[in-house]
Structure 1
Amino acid sequence: MNPAGAPGSLQRRLLLAAGLFLGVAVVAAGLSIGFVLHRFVRGQLDGRLDDRLLSLVSDLRGGPGALSLGRDRDGPPFDRPGSGWYWQIRRGDAVLGSASLDGRRLAVPALPARRRDPDAPAPADGTGPWGEGLILRVLTVPGPAGGPPTVFAAAAPEAALRGPVWEALRTLALCLAVIGVFLFAGVMLQVRLGLRPLRGLRDQLARVRAGRLDRLPERQPAEIRPLVAEMNALLDQNAAQLEHARGHVANLAHGLKTPLATLAMALAEPGADRDGSLAPLVEGMDRRIRHHLRRARAAALGGPARSRADLAAHVADLRLALTRIHAGREIAVATAIPDGLGVACDPQDLDEMLGNLVDNACRWCRGRVAVSARREGAQVVVRVEDDGPGLDAAAREAVLQRGRRLDESRPGHGFGLPIALELAELYGGSLALETSGLGGLAVRLALPA
């Protein structure tokens, strides 16, 4: 899930933008082609009507009072009454019309006084005798010797224009829709191919996180090569800082070894440790210092790469050791860990984290402890549960602080959970306290797989 305000999928944004622009382009192409098609069909109709007008002009006979044609001009479709295909000639009060007018008169609109070419037919729109819409072509020929002009008009029904145009537009819309679908499919393929290097980069980063790669490969597309270079620089910087920090730990451990050895020799003298409580503490401190020395040495030899620890094997060894330590309490430790499930961290660090968590569960339980683990994406989640008294929210926050103990009557120093938390965060994991299904406390430890 994306946090509030975070940008969405890059692939979805690219596809939405491509779909929007493709839709606009297809609609614009359809409108443009429709406009051109409309003008083409209108031009064909105008040319046909102009031919009719010129033939009428050439065949006109008669004077101002009577008009006639040299031959019949009422061939189809001008012979069907109400067809919308009409012609009419008017000179003064004399009117001659096509058979399709059936004796009616055609209302010819007045033409503009100023036209580009007064001697050529002019376009007009009108209404037929039966109320149908018409496309008109009108030609005005001046009369002889100052007589009235002769107005020639030829008409075609608007359906003759709309019908072919709509029929062509339906076919065009289907073709454009198919083209749009194929173009969008091509865009989808292009986006997936274009984003494939990013998915590969994500997998390579996961391999770096899991310890299978030290750095990202430098063979990358030119567009993401600067990003890879910055990531590798960050990895190198983190590795150098980690090596520097572990060097300080090694120096500190070396600095403590000599006084600790002196203290151990002093406690070994007769009467120095009367109740015998100091020697085990010195021995534990020496063991921890040796452990951190080994970690610093391993980091110096192996670099920043992480090792892999088999979770089931470590939990099995820990279970055996803790059941012996708490043998007097008859604690049942149940484990549910799949075989082959591993975590990308140092085995000794894993033992320290699990040891603190399971030991705390054994100390506070009534008799049952459960350790389970499962893979969740790029992490392995380990749950350590007990059937003890549990903790409320305030107490859970308090026990994660160093040296903070809620019950001073129980043995311990209050450092176990904070140490486990710091080690988990060192590896990019987390540690959280929850309510156990057994009734007590559940510790959720997340580590990189």
Structure 2
Amino acid sequence: MKRLFGLGSLQRRLFFGAALFILIALVVAGLAIGLVLYRFARAQVDGRLDAEIAALVTDLKREPDRLELAGEHRIPGSDRGPRGWYWQVRSGDTVLRSASLEGATLEPPARTEPEHADGPSPADGTGPQGEALILRILTLPAANGAPAATIMASAPSAALHGPLREAARTLAITLGLLGLGLLAAVTAQVRLGLRPLDRLRDNLAEVRAGTRARVPIEQPSEVRPLVDEVNLLLDRNEAGLERARAQVANLAHGLKTPLATLTMALDGTRDPDGQLSHLVSGMDRRVRHHLRRARAAALGGPTRARSDLAAHAADLADILARLHADKALRIENAVAAGTLVPCEGQDLDEMLGNLVDNACRWARTRVRISAERAGSTVDVSVEDDGRGLEAEAIAHVLLRGRRLDESVPGDGFGLPITLELAELYGGGLDLGRSDLGGLRAVLRLPAS
């Protein structure tokens, strides 16, 4: 019982609760209807036997030395019919009986109900062949010198219980079909009643996925207080997330840039033994470690947004084409419209902007941006037709501040920052050779 009505499923609790009450109601209804049918059928049999006794009383002639019936007395079924339909009149030693008794005598039961002053009394007995009988007994007091007389009329128990069994069978089938219909109605009602909870679950999933900022307030009155509390919690989390992002950004601008400047400023003449460089590198690792932890906590919030990759790529392509207008580059945006990734827009701009800007710096005439779904990730490719990188140089360029060509503007932090952001989102960055001839950078981001 505890497992059926536990907290595991509201639908199961409602269904089995309703099923239990329906079963109890049907059992009570069946017993009540059965009792009514029994009383009705018994009244019909008793009425028939009382009518026969009344006819016997009317035809009976009692004298001190004679007991007889006026005319021929017959009960339908009591002369040549089935066993059990009998009548008998006894006064002293004189007995009148129906032909169906075939000379046998009905013995009154040892125990009967108290006699009714206004009519025959009911009783149960046994016939001459051992068959169960339903009896009605009337005792006429002595009168005019004639002794008291006892009149009995009987019917076989099958006359009562046979129709009752047929009626009970029909009643059971009817109640069973009614119960099945009620269970089907309860199932439909439970599913219909719990449908708002299913919609609420879908709304929360959309909020978690970033397609909604808040749960819609158009909900049933019973669910609306819960929705209001959830929306209030989302608002507070969003405010906390924005504060965390602001703090992370402030730390990033306040610490990372001076440390990078120190790293590049310390050369062999200023730091001959490398102690200062070692200290600066240690400080940089610690700062990046704690910034990464703070940013990961902020990105793990429940209100992570989704960004349109095609729109961001188009904006970046337009901006960078103007920045590198002197090279007359052709930047192709082959990202399909509607491609979404679960990233904040500013982070996506930083990752994609670093890759496209790097490609524009090294490209001769052409840069291509594309994206494709690969299982649970979206692979964003940025390719150029420059000279590319050799395999041994790829690991080198992913280190902070490392540049392969000092003649090209830059500080060497673009690719490492992109890799770090991608890893915070559960993705990564791969470098390789493009079929355009230059570098192919593949930014892997989780699919929305």
Aligned to 1:193: 192
| Displacement of 1:39 | 0.6
SS at match of 1:144: coil
2:269 aligned residue (268, 271, 277): 271
In 2, Cα distance between equivalents of 1:181 and 1:82: 41
- Structure 1 stretches lacking a partner, 5+ long: 315-338, 353-371, 383-416, 430-444
Deviation at 1:448, TM superposition (A): 7.7
Superimposed CA distance per residue, residues 360-384 of structure 1 (whole angstroms, 9 cap, x where no aligned partner): xxxxxxxxxxxx9645xxxx799xx
**Which aligned pairs between 1:124-143 and structure 2 lie closer than 5 A?**
124-143=123-142
Cα deviation 1:38-80 (Å, max 9, x = unaligned): 1101001111111111111111013254321112222421112
Return closer, same or farther for 1:273/1:66 CA change in 2, 3 Å cut-off: farther
In the alignment, the residues of structure 2 paired with residue 99 and residue 350 of structure 1 have an alpha-carbon distance, to the nearest angstrom, of: 112
In 2, distance between residues paired with 1:97 and 1:381? 103
What SS class does the counterpart of residue 138 from structure 1 fall into?
strand
What aligned pairs does 1:149-298 form with structure 2 within 5 A after superposition? Answer: 149-257=148-256, 259-260=258-259, 263-264=262-263, 266-267=265-266, 271-272=269-270, 278=277
1:26 aligns with 2:26: yes
Tell me the TM-score normalised to structure 1 length. 0.63
Distance in 1 of aligned mates of 2:339 and 2:257: 41
Cα distance change, pair 18–113 in 1 and its aligned pair in 2 (3 A): closer
Deviation at 1:17, TM superposition (A): 2.0
Give the counterpart letter for 2:207 in structure 1: V
Letter in 2 for 1:66: R
Aligned with 1:89: secondary structure? Answer: strand
Matches within 5 A, 1:22-171: 22-80=22-80, 83-110=83-110, 114-115=114-115, 117-144=116-143, 148-171=147-170
Query: Whole-Å Cα distance in 1 between the matches of residues 134 and 185 of structure 2?
Result: 44
Aligned to 2:342: 344
Does the Cα contact within 8 Å between 1:141 and 1:151 map onto a contact in 2?
A: yes
Distance 1:33 1:75 in 2: 31
Rounded Cα–Cα distance in structure 2 between residues aligned with 1:29 and 1:351: 74
Q: In 2, distance between residues paired with 1:170 and 1:447?
A: 64
Determine helix, strand or coil for the equivalent of 2:66. coil
* Count of matched residue pairs: 334
Q: Which runs of 5+ in 2 are unaligned?
A: 314-336, 352-372, 380-418, 428-443
1:446 and 1:155 map into 2 onto residues whose CA distance is 94
Structure 1 CA distance for aligned equivalents of residues 26 and 99 of structure 2: 46
Q: Aligned Cα RMSD in Å? A: 4.4
CA distance in 2, matches of 1:350, 1:257: 19
Distance 2:173 2:447 in 1: 53
For 2:423 and 2:63, how far apart are their aligned partners in 1?
115
After TM superposition, the structure 1 stretch with the greater mean CA deviation from structure 2, 209-218 or 340-349, is 340-349
* Counterparts in 2 of 1:31 and 1:211: CA distance versus 1, 3 Å: same
- After TM superposition, give the deviation of residue 309 of structure 1 in Å: 7.5
- Which range moves more in the overlay, 164-173 or 32-41? 164-173
Q: Which amino acid aligns with 1:271?
A: T
Between stretches 171-180 and 190-199, larger displacement belongs to 171-180
2:63 partner SS = coil
What secondary structure, in the 3-state scheme, does the structure 2 residue paired with 1:255 have?
helix
On the 8 A contact 2:6/2:13 being kept in 1, the answer is no
Task: Go from structure 1 to structure 2 and tell me whether the alpha carbon gap of 1:8 and 1:343 turns closer, same or farther (over 3 Å shift).
Answer: farther
What is the deviation of 1:419? 9.4
CA deviation after TM superposition for structure 1 residue 275, in Å: 8.9
Equivalent residue number for residue 404 of structure 1: none
